[in-house]
A and B are shown apart, each in its own frame.
Chain A
Amino acid sequence: MDEQPPRRPGELSFAARRRLFLVGAAGLGALLLWGLFELPDYRDVVPLYGQVINHSAVEERSSTAVVSAVNFDYRGFDTLGEEFILFAAVLVLALLLRRLSEERRDRHEWKARHEHTTSAAVRLTCAALVGPTVLLAVYITAHGHLTPGGGFQGGVIAATALLLVYLGSDYPTMQRLRPLPLVETAKAAGALAFVLLGLAGLIFAGAFLENFLPLGTPGDLVAAGTIPLLSVAVGLEVAGGFVLLLSEFLDQLLVIRRKQEADS
């Protein structure tokens, strides 16, 4: 790690690069701090938009968790964009980590290499935690409009449950629990449901992503119109996306091998 590759002409040495960076960073830091010192004390002022939403969100949208109301109603369009960034990132990752032409999937070789060495305590704990984790994911997604949570957090927790399955057992068990066509369908269905709910808002209420379902009373589980539905759609999409992410990495590690390795 300490010796360096031979320097090409005009290239800086490591020490010179570091010195140059420190000079630049000092300048950048001074500029940033000068600008940030002009801001008011961080404990005093809350931006006005936030204050207005805090005062009116509970009555207007029957949602007691204002952050979810902002995410799925007031700024729902931004959430649509973020959701599709995640969709595109997972798509490109699945494309990058596909099986190349000089590789093959070897489902049997991993058995010989990865003998079961996890202890019984780990396996028992992981098996016991899978159920509560899935329940926690569903609870956080469904109660997004009542307490802190929502689709984003619940979806990632659901993907973590699959990771617990893999840690507590082995690769074929995890494979059986996540049939890839189902995961991909769920991810696409989540993204599609978000767009369809937005279009339904356009058709029934005149604006894209308008909250057109009956609002109910704040504090009920079925309240706040389209907010819990959008939360579930995002939860499906994020869960499917992260399950796909983890599966691609695990596949690359355990199953995909170069073709000539089979002969050695």
Chain B
Amino acid sequence: MIAVQLAALLVVAVGAWATVMARDPVRQAIVVSLYGLALGLLFFAFQAPDVALSNIVIGAVALPTMLMLAIAKTKR
């Protein structure tokens, strides 16, 4: 369990860096979806299934969808 937590923490740290470094919003929508999934796996490793479920649904599905819709609306 410790190895899983260590790996998940490192993936989340790299994922946060990748989300910030993706300057184009369309690319960032995909990266933030993967970051939400990585956070969900980290929460599972910390024995928190409720929080993981919430984060996967919101951070990996609802948030990138709304971001994509906002991008499509603001593209001229």
Contact = CB atoms under 8 A, between A and B. Distances in A.
Complex A–B touching at CB under 8 A: yes
Contacts of A250: 69
A242 interface: yes
A249 B69 contact: yes
| SS class, residues of chain A in contact with chain B | helix
B75 to A, nearest CB: 10
A33 interface: no
A1 interface: yes
B62 A253 contact: no
A253 B73 contact: yes
A245 B61 CA distance: 13
Interface residues on A, range: 20 to 34
B50 A156 contact: no
B50 A160 contact: no
Interface of B: 23, 49-50, 53-54, 57-58, 61-62, 65-66, 69-70, 72-73
The 4 closest A-B pairs by CB, nearest first: A148-B49, A249-B69, A148-B50, A156-B57
Interface of A: 1, 65, 67-68, 140, 148-150, 152-153, 156-157, 159-160, 163, 242, 245-246, 249-250, 252-253
